[in-house]
Structure 1
């Protein structure tokens, strides 16, 4: 069956098919990540910095963002709190590199050409190969160099590095999520260390103040004891005068006129007791067997 003019329709003209989802141009996406700032979308130029998630920025753009965060709707760098959260990269330039532009007619532009290379194996930093940087020194090196030349020091500057602090540049989704978890753990650890240092700094002051308080308390207690032990002379005399006559310390049985001579002779203070023979004390049943 045909249409006017004897044309025969095709299947795709009669049956509607689902449209394929639009996909990103991989080459354009790679160029955007490795040659342009993730924040300002301007070409990367030194000094170039990287965050703990492995994204590349112009340092100038990061400073402008920190000065006025409200004017930026891009949340790609929401995790950057200050310049301490970015690392200035120590890049190795390729010799005889010449930047070419497509604006000039009749000139071929190689999109794979890069200004920076790996200092060990010479691979170009263009997104085709994986690159890492050391968080401690900021030196950038390729994955192949890390695997082939294993060392505990940086391959470029010789600084001692920890392999746990190696961050992949422009990694995949899983790698970025792993870096984000490490970043949060590191920040939590730093926060706890700051709190511990603050507590340790405050502890000596608290101990000294406690010692001073204890010394003041002991002094006040000792003063109270001395005050309670010492009674004023008039008060002592008044208390002695208030006692009964026979309870006083200066009372004498021999001098008391109310006592009879027979009662006075019982005590050793009587004159008759002076000539009285003294006897020895003998216990009952001394057990002399």
Structure 2
């Protein structure tokens, strides 16, 4: 490459072009999201918890992270997560190898697999997990599995988009602050009545 006239440089030898990012494999991304702990990247094992953002964690990993003060910023205590009541898939066989085509958990109402192909939601009030399709059929009011009351703010989309889940998480926190404020007022009134 002396440019003495004997060689003609090509464009790719002279100009460095920004490399296009390699597209990620959607299947492997979904498997990772739905089968591995978001904190430790280990296989999810019961008990499984979710945060207000809908990310899935091993409960032991969250406890360890809280103790070591290494937890995500939106998780400070165990009150910031909820243990999920998952329905096991009878077709899933746990034999040490990953079954890519069969999910370990399903929706108790519709039977859809919790693999990322369909949207799933958890109810913050009780921890029950349903497909979004089943929740639309059931409606807001009472959980069809445990009969506990819930409203729209209690619905957490599992592995959902950051913007939509953050709005609901903020609504739940605001409602919790208002409830605590009401409880403090009631406590003060009860104390005044006793005196």
Fold agreement, TM-score > 0.5: yes
1:128 correspondence with 2:117: yes
SS state at 2:159 partner: coil
| Structure with more relative contact order (C-alpha pairs < 8 Å, separation 6 or more) | 2
Q: Give, in whole Å, the separation in 2 of the partners of 1:164 and 1:131.
A: 15
| Greater gyration radius | 1
Q: CA-to-partner distance for each residue in 1:202-229, whole Å, 9 max, x for gaps?
A: 3234xx3xxxxxxxxxxxxxxxxxxxxx
In structure 2, the gaps of 5 or more residues are 1-6
Deviation at 1:99, TM superposition (A): 3.2
What is the aligned partner in structure 2 of residue 45 from structure 1? Answer: 45
Q: Which residue of the other structure, out of 198, 207, 222, is the alignment partner of 2:187?
A: 198
Aligned to 1:261: none
Within the alignment, does 1:173 sit opposite 2:162 as a pair? yes
Gaps of 5+ in 1: 1-6, 103-108, 209-289
Shift of 1:8: 8.9
Please state whether the residue corresponding to 1:33 is helix, strand or coil: helix
1:240-270 Cα distance to aligned partner (Å, 9 max, x none): xxxxxxxxxxxxxxxxxxxxxxxxxxxxxxx
- Give the superposed CA RMSD: 2.9
Distance 1:200 1:40 in 2: 47
Deviation at 1:79, TM superposition (A): 2.3
Secondary structure of the residue that 2:108 maps to in structure 1?
coil
* Cα drift, residue 127 of structure 1: 1.4
3-state secondary structure, aligned to 2:191: helix
Which residue number corresponds to residue 79 of structure 2?
A: 84
| 2:4 matched residue in structure 1 | none
Structure 1 length-normalised TM = 0.57
**Residues 68, 17 of structure 1: alpha-carbon distance in 2 compared, 3 angstrom cutoff:** closer
2-structure distance, mates of 1:88, 1:10: 60
2:134 is aligned, of 116, 135, 145, to 145
Distance apart, 1:13 and its partner CA:
4.6
Q: Distance in 1 between matches of 2:45 and 2:177?
A: 33
Give TM-score, length-normalised by structure 2: 0.81
Measured against aligned partners, the alpha-carbon deviations of 1:70-123 in whole angstroms (never above 9, x if no partner) come to xx2xx52x2223223221111111113113556xxxxxx653421001111111
Residues in 2 aligned to 1:187 and 1:151: alpha-carbon distance in whole angstroms: 19
Q: Is this contact kept in 1: 2:106–2:112, CA < 8 A?
A: yes
Deviates more, 1:169-178 or 1:9-18: 9-18
Q: Secondary structure at the match of 1:39?
A: coil
* 1:198-217 correspondence runs (5 A): 198-205=187-194, 208=195
Higher strand share: 2
Q: SS in structure 2 opposite 1:98?
A: coil
